[in-house]
């Protein structure tokens, strides 16, 4: 990637990044991606690993967050599949608004871009919780999936949130569990499993949700119930959850003692 001075601005940097992606285009990869349900529209066949490499190069420049934000916007507007993933990697999470999230998600046509957008960018944004609360109730497939994915990522990354915040979201997961769309039902399972791995209490709550879903008539709800129970009842998962709880308790005790 060619050196870029501050004077060239976000537009030149975005064009430079797009040129790097296009130079790595691999039509054979596009065909392989299509077999996994990834849209071939605007897809170059570039690996996510390469996009992450480019993102690291951008971040090493220590650009002003506003510049990264502008670069990400231009990358997203290109419509190139891999450029949109790169946009989620280089944008500044603190600058993301609900309006931007809504606008970007309207252009999503593949589960991988949806998930990368949530994991790389929206999860760390100030609007993450608001979107996790609002989006699952929406009918649009990728909006609903994104809201559920955000709940799963919040369960993993937001260590400060109380268990009650996640318990409050379980009814929303159950409310859409009859949605037979594959990308949605898998996201419901992901959200319940993510919440259940957070603490012993949440594991019990997620399993209670699964038990209720198992009694429904829809194939989707029963599949979700089975998938959640299969994961959360594994001995190694139980041990992991218990270990996390013990670690959190020890950390809290140390903080109390350190404040004395």
Q: What is the mean pLDDT of each run of 10 residues along the chain (260 residues)?
A: 55 95 93 84 92 95 94 96 97 97 94 97 97 97 98 94 96 98 98 97 98 97 98 97 89 76
pLDDT at 179: 98
Residue 5 confidence (pLDDT): 44
Task: Return the closest-CA partner of residue 46 out of 69, 26, 17, 31.
Answer: 26
Closest CA to 203 of 173, 245, 246: 245
The domain limits of the chain are 7-108, 127-260
CA R_g for the chain: 20
The C-alpha atoms of residue 210 and residue 174 are separated, in whole angstroms, by: 9
pLDDT value of position 8: 55
pLDDT of residue 4: 45
* Rounded to 5°, angle at Cα 116 from 91 and 236: 130
The whole-number pLDDT of residue 206 equals 98
Predicted pLDDT at 95: 97
Q: What angle, rounded to 10 degrees, do the helices at 219-232 and 182-196 form? A: 30
Q: Helix 48-60 crosses helix 9-23 at what angle (to 10 degrees)?
A: 150
pLDDT of residue 137: 97
**Domain boundaries 127-260, corresponding CATH code:** 1.25.40.290
Q: How far is CA 13 from CA 4, 21, 117, 211, 214, in A?
A: 7, 12, 20, 51, 51
> Whole-prediction pTM value?
0.90
């Amino acid at each position: 990637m060619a050196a870029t001075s501050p004077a060239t601005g976000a537009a030149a940097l975005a064009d430079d990044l797009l040129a790097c992606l296009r130079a790595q285009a691999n039509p054979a990869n596009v065909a392989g991606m299509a077999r996994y349900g990834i849209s071939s529209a605007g897809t170059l066949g570039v690996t996510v690993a390469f996009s992450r490499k480019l993102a690291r190069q951008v971040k090493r420049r220590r650009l002003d967050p506003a510049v990264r934000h502008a670069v990400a916007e231009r990358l997203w507007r290109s419509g190139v599949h891999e450029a949109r993933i790169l946009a989620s990697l280089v944008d500044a999470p603190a600058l993301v608004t609900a309006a931007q999230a809504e606008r970007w998600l309207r252009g999503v046509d593949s589960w991988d871009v949806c998930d990368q957008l949530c994991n790389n960018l929206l999860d760390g944004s100030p609007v993450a919780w608001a979107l996790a609360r609002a989006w699952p109730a929406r009918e649009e497939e990728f909006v609903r999936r994104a809201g559920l994915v955000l709940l799963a990522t919040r369960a993993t990354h937001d260590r400060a949130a109380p268990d009650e915040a996640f318990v409050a979201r379980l009814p929303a997961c159950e409310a859409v569990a009859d949605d037979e769309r594959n990308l949605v039902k898998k996201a419901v399972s992901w959200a319940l499993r993510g919440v259940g791995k957070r603490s012993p209490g949440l594991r019990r709550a997620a399993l209670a949700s699964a038990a209720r879903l198992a009694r429904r008539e829809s194939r989707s709800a029963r599949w979700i119930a089975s998938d959640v129970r299969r994961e959360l009842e594994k001995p190694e998962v139980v041990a992991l959850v218990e270990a996390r709880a013990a670690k959190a308790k020890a950390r809290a005790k140390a903080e109390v003692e350190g404040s004395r």
